[in-house]
Amino acid sequence: MTQTTSPDPIAAAIAVAEPVFAFDNSYARLSSRFYLRQLPTRVASPRLIKLNRPLACDLGLDADALAGHVDLLAGNRIPGGSMPIATAYAGHQFGGFSPQLGDGRAILLGEIIAPDGRFDLQLKGSGPTPFSRRGDGRAALGPVLREFIVSEAMAALGIPTTRALAAVTTGETVHRETALPGAVLTRVASSHIRVGTFQYFAVRKDTEAVRELADHVIARHYPDAAQAPNPYLALLHAIVARQAALIARWMQVGFIHGVMNTDNTSIAGETIDYGPCAFMDAYDPATVLSSIDLHGRYAFANQPTIAQWNLTRLAETLLELLADDKSAAIAQAQSALDGFPQQFMKAYVEGMCRKIGLASVIAGDDALCQDLLDRMADNRADFTLTFRALCDAAQGPVHDQVARALFRDPTAFDTWAIAWRQRLAQEAGTPEQRKAAMQRINPAFIPRNHSVEAAIVAAVERGDYQPFEQLVEVLSRPFDDQPDAAPLALPPRPEEIVRATFCGT
């Protein structure tokens, strides 16, 4: 973009921009029905709250330069090479279909070409778009900090996720139930393409757009599918596999997404759209923390079933591409979807076995894991602490005190541990090696609700970002014992328990 003769404000804004990112905008090259060109809305007085320097570095960005560009991170200026757009998508929300959602409070600035690949750079909370419906296009500081903390914690746990590059406050007030400070999150994602993006075109019977999107997704995320005899079927299989792996990882750390709508289901298999998400403290598979999940649709234990439901909605959008004959297409889609439970269970059981110190899975191991979980549920044992304590207990019964004390009836642990030790005896490796391996999969630190809440309250009500900073820092090394941060490893005291989380949109 060199010429600014056009009166188009978007072209004008882009043309004067400095090149800060190596942008390439493959999504903006798709046909125009995929998005609307849209500038962020200027904010009064942006202030940088947090720049994620390690992530900036991984993306090949100059963190110091970026820290000096709060105007870019607030949407007040458009970086050179950007093609700002709001993308179109639909979605099933709590089971009900909305044919038009779209980026109502986010602008995709473009894709940066980083050493590790192509990543979307998106401003979330950057003002209204034609997709805003009745919303103001803005984000409040609390939800921005929550997404920052939890998405970065997920990344440090090794779980596929969108990332948080920066958070800025806007100097403006947003009105929710009360007046709150406004903020903008700079989000990084492999892409922001959702199951709902496919649904948007399928419901409009725009098969050519579904095909264009599928081709784009294959090129961008699943290049191997292009070599398959039926690339669209291979694509579906690959997306199913990534979702199965993702949900298994959630279930192994006690993560509850809270709003697993199809518009919040990433085609790239990343955890996306952190709203009223939460980690469980005491293990209870029926846990629901989201204040808007009135019927427990997205309860912890329902997540695999819901993921498969969401994938079924995706498969429906691809039928026209799979085969000319409808029943053949349905049979192919069904075969891909049928793979989900098995792939999920395999990943889940392998991961749970590693959590209890088993490098391989043999017959009976899944029952051993389930027996532990049942006893944890009956005894209100803390999910994270129990598995962390097992790392020590794996060295022998004299190290059992911490683990057994987490159970209301400690003998419930003792009887399980007898069977566990019989099984461990068949494994190779020294106790020290086993402990080290277990500590690499069983975190000491997770973003506990009450700690996240406390960090948000301190920032929003007192302008004190120290608890937020400390939490982000500690959660960047979740598998390390960090004695100085020991209180952050603990479950809430009764008066600290957070029983409901809010998405705050």
- Annotated catalytic residues are 263
For residue 102, the partner it binds in ligand AMP, Mg ion, none, with Cβ less than 5 to 8 A by kind, is: ligand AMP
Round to whole Å and give the CA distance between 273 and 260. Answer: 9
For the chain, the helix, strand and coil percentages under 3-state DSSP, each to the nearest 5: 50, 15, 35
Round to whole Å and give the CA distance between 99 and 204. Answer: 9
Q: Looking at beta carbons, which residue is closest to ligand AMP?
A: 135
Residue 176 or 380 having the CB closest to ligand AMP: 176
3-state secondary structure 371-416: HHHHHHHHCCCEHHHHHHHHHHHCCCHHHCHHHHHCCCCHHHHHHH
Residue 13 or 503 having the CB closest to ligand AMP: 503
Closest distance of CB 416 from Mg ion, Å:
40
Can residue 197 be called a binding residue for Mg ion (CB under 5 A)?
A: no
3-state secondary structure of 487: helix
Dihedral angle over CA of 149, 153, 156, 162, nearest 10: -70
Closest distance of CB 263 from Mg ion, Å:
5
For residue 132, the partner it binds in Mg ion, ligand AMP, none, with Cβ less than 5 to 8 A by kind, is: ligand AMP
Residue 129 or 386 having the CB closest to ligand AMP: 129
Closest distance of CB 7 from ligand AMP, Å:
27
Closest distance of CB 124 from ligand AMP, Å:
8
For residue 101, the partner it binds in Mg ion, ligand AMP, none, with Cβ less than 5 to 8 A by kind, is: ligand AMP
Q: Angle at Cα 483 formed by Cα 480 and Cα 486, nearest 5°? A: 95
Round to whole Å and give the CA distance between 15 and 9. Answer: 10
> How many Cα atoms within 13 Å fall on the side-chain side of residue 281?
20
> How many Cα atoms within 13 Å fall on the side-chain side of residue 365?
22
Residue 289 or 349 having the CB closest to ligand AMP: 289
Closest distance of CB 194 from Mg ion, Å:
8
For residue 400, the partner it binds in ligand AMP, Mg ion, none, with Cβ less than 5 to 8 A by kind, is: none
Distances in Å between the alpha carbon of 500 and those of 1, 18, 280, 296? Answer: 48, 44, 12, 12
For residue 138, the partner it binds in Mg ion, ligand AMP, none, with Cβ less than 5 to 8 A by kind, is: ligand AMP
Closest distance of CB 262 from Mg ion, Å:
10
Per-residue x/- track, 249-288, Mg ion (CB under 5 A): ---------------x--------x---------------
Distances in Å between the alpha carbon of 149 and those of 165, 365, 393? Answer: 11, 34, 30
Round to whole Å and give the CA distance between 102 and 90. Answer: 6
The two tokens of residue 115 are 């050493």
Confirm if 83 and 120 have CB atoms less than 8 A apart: no
Residue 273 or 293 having the CB closest to Mg ion: 273
Round to whole Å and give the CA distance between 345 and 323. Answer: 29
| Phi, psi for 85 (deg, rounded to 5) | -140, 155
Dihedral angle over CA of 492, 304, 277, 357, nearest 10: 40
- Helix (H), strand (E) counts: the chain: 17, 13
Closest distance of CB 402 from ligand AMP, Å:
39
Residue 134 or 205 having the CB closest to Mg ion: 134
Round to whole Å and give the CA distance between 385 and 403. Answer: 8
Round to whole Å and give the CA distance between 493 and 78. Answer: 46
Closest distance of CB 183 from Mg ion, Å:
17
Round to whole Å and give the CA distance between 343 and 350. Answer: 11
Closest distance of CB 2 from ligand AMP, Å:
33
Q: Which spans of this chain sit near ligand AMP (rule: CB under 6 A)?
A: 101-105, 131-132, 135-138, 264, 273, 275, 503, 505
For residue 92, the partner it binds in ligand AMP, Mg ion, none, with Cβ less than 5 to 8 A by kind, is: none
Residue 41 or 379 having the CB closest to ligand AMP: 41
For residue 135, the partner it binds in Mg ion, ligand AMP, none, with Cβ less than 5 to 8 A by kind, is: ligand AMP
Residue 148 or 413 having the CB closest to ligand AMP: 148
For residue 40, the partner it binds in Mg ion, ligand AMP, none, with Cβ less than 5 to 8 A by kind, is: none
Residue 196 or 467 having the CB closest to Mg ion: 196
3-state secondary structure of 170: strand
For residue 152, the partner it binds in Mg ion, ligand AMP, none, with Cβ less than 5 to 8 A by kind, is: none
Helix ranges (H only) for 222-325 are 231-253, 303-322
- Nearest CA to 181 out of 460, 458, 457 is that of 460
Catalog residues that contact Mg ion under the rule CB under 5 A.
264, 273
